Amino acid sequence: MALEDTVCTLVPYFIVQDGKLDEFKALGEQMVEKTRSEDEVVFYGFSFSGQQAHCREGYRSAAGVLAHLENVNELLGKALQIASIERLEVHAPAADVAALEGPLKELGPTFFTMESGFRKN
């Protein structure tokens, strides 16, 4: 059965400093474990290409995104000491984009408004 796609996704790409990839991966594993307990997470994980890292993450709502960022704040801070955000996108329905624009402004994301689509159960 197809449902309206209302998942809010964060799409961050990081560039990890030379010699720090193993440290970044360890922080990523800690973030994965910490995120498992979140009620609004739909999917979450890290993938890598050389020194570039991507966190693939989706949440049921803007509130879930914000709760997640609060939950991993300390670990993310440590990760940003050894990596920089190369690009950050937010994909979400219009109401969720509006709810995230202010709180995420300092991260400088590009916002994409979901206008049509579906997801399968």
Task: Write out pLDDT tens, residues 52-61.
Answer: 999 999 999 9
Asked if 5 and 117 touch (Cβ cutoff 8 Å), the reply is yes
Half-sphere exposure of 112 (CA within 13 A, CB side): 12
For the whole model, what pTM was predicted?
0.93
pLDDT at 24 over 90: yes
Give the confidence band of 120 by pLDDT, cuts at 50, 70, 90: confident
Percent of the chain at pLDDT above 70? 98
Other Cβ atoms within 10 Å of 55 Cβ, number: 21
pLDDT recorded at residue 2: 66
Instruction: Provide the token pair at 84.
Output: 């920089």
Instruction: Provide the token pair at 46.
Output: 């890290």
Domain boundaries, the chain: 2-120
Q: At the topology level of CATH, where does 2-120 sit?
A: Alpha-Beta Plaits (3.30.70)
pLDDT at 115 over 80: yes
Measured distance CA(28)–CA(63) in Å, rounded: 22
